[in-house]
Amino acid sequence: MKVKTGIIIFIASLSIFSCTDNKEIDQKSAQKFGYTTTEIDECDQYVDISGIDVKGSFERTDLTFRNMKSAQEVNTFLQNNKNFVEAFGNIDGLPYNQMVPMIYGLHHDNRMNVLYKDIDKAWSNTKDLEEQLNLMYRHIKYYDNKFSPKKVSTVNTAFAGIEIYPGKKEFIIALDYFMGPKATYEPMDPYHPKYLQQFNQIHYIPSKLASKYADEYIQINKGDNTFLNKMIAFGKKYYFAHCMMPCVHDSIILEYDNKEIGLLRKHREQIYNHFVTNSIFYSNKDEFVRKLLMPSPKCVQISDECPGRAGIWLGYEIIKAYMKNNPTLTAMDLMKEKSAKKIFEGANFKEYMKEVKE
């Protein structure tokens, strides 16, 4: 951890936008949260969820841990909450005998008092977050009647490198990664560079979780090692999140700021032509993955103005074009389509660019 030397300036919503009955954005809310009406996407995937009632479980588990008096209490909690244990050890294989002292220590170390204070300030009210999660669950339930939301828990990790721990039946949020731009400390791990930390705020959590849920539905051709297959998989992930939160601006879904979204749209044709000219779509070179899919401030090989992860954005645009050309397909139909080549060819992207040219 290190103390911030500056404040990241970011104009974004304090909560996720919701849809009105006439399928239009609540313009008053849009203006309140810093977006002009021209920066807001229409609710183009709006569906009627009025008859769907599903609520998930949300628990500030970190407060439970902080109120415990001994490591033995942590041990008892973990023994009674196997789903938490499975999720927390899911990524790095943390053994149970190390989990108990680590969790107790992270929530009772006096050296972290400043961190605790920032957490308490940022997470003082989770009502809006819980409402937006439940709204997302209702949309997923619309598309998948068998859907049952996973429990969402919280924990302090002191910036261990993972912001969301995905389990089979539970998600654990490392709330120290979602304290906002005014927090005293910031992560120093390579997965959370400074230029991306503006997106580590509470109102990004629903879209991040929607992307995690997408992984459970997306089907791909595992034998296809082309760049196209990888970028289409990313596009499907974010399109899924868009469908489950249809009135959320693309900047929230894709984690760009408004200026970056504008630049990507401005250079849409240049970005696409770069991929064509350099034969990137059907390439299997790792360098293209590193330069065009992995986080970076800019894709300078395309343009000095082009934001990073241009391949992910283009994959998302191709998916939108494909779905526009196939209006009878649902989000779940898209998730089941394994052929990236079929999606790419069905997008007729050159024609799509002419239609959306700004």
What average pLDDT does the structure give for the chain?
87
pLDDT tens digits along 218-231: 999 999 999 999 99
Q: Is the pLDDT of residue 39 over 80?
A: no
Tell me, what amino acid is at 34? G
**Chain mean position to CA 282:** 27
Secondary structure of the chain in HEC code, one letter for each residue: CEECCCCCCCCCCCCCCCECCCCCECHHHHHHCCCCHHHCCCCCCCCCCCCCCCCCCEECHHHHHHCCCCHHHHHHHHHHCHHHHHHHCCCCCCCHHHHHHHHHHHCCCHHHHHHHHHHHHHCCCCHHHHHHHHHHHHHHHHHCCCCCCCEEEEECCCCCCCCEEECCCEEEEEHHHCCCCCCCEECCCCCCCHHHHHHCCHHHHHHHHHHHHHCCCCCCCCCCCCHHHHHHHHHHHHHHHHHHCCCCCHHHHHCCCHHHHHHHHHCHHHHHHHHHHCCCCCCCCHHHHHHHCCCCCECCCCCCCCECCHHHHHHHHHHHHHHHHCCCCCHHHHHHCCCHHHHHHHHCHHHHHHHHCC
Q: If we measure between CA atoms, which residue out of 149, 133, 135 comes closest to residue 20? A: 135
Q: Is the whole model's pTM more than 0.85, yes or no?
A: yes
pLDDT tens digits along 197-207: 888 899 999 99
Give the pLDDT score at 315. Answer: 98
pLDDT tens digits along 152-181: 999 999 999 899 999 999 999 999 999 988
Mean pLDDT of 240-269: 93
